[in-house]
Amino acid sequence: MSIMKKVVLSSVSVLALSTVALPSVSAEDAAWSANTALVTDYRFRGVSLSNKDFAVQGGFDVNWASGFYVGTWASSIETFGGSEMEMDIYAGYGFESNGLSYDVGILAYTYPGSDDTHYLEAYGSVGGSFNDVGWTVGAAYAYDQDNLGNQTNLYVYTDLEYSLTDVISLSGHLGVEEGAFGKFNGDAKLDWSLGFSYALSDTVGLGVTYIDTNMNNTIGKETAVISLSASF
pLDDT at 27: 65
Class of domain 29-231: mainly beta
Bridge partners, residue 85, by sequence:
76
State the average pLDDT for the chain: 90
Share of the chain above pLDDT 90, in %: 80
pTM: 0.86
Q: How far is CA 145 from the centre of its chain?
A: 20
At 18 the pLDDT is 36
125 pLDDT more than 60? yes
8 A C-beta contact, residue 109 and residue 86: yes
Domain ranges of the chain: 29-231
Q: Is it the case that residue 103 has pLDDT exceeding 90?
A: yes
pLDDT value of position 59: 98
Is the pLDDT higher at 109 or at 182? 109
Residue 10 has pLDDT above 70, yes or no: no
**The pLDDT of residue 50 is above 60:** yes
Q: Please report the pLDDT score of residue 7 as a whole number.
A: 38
Span 148-176, average pLDDT? 97
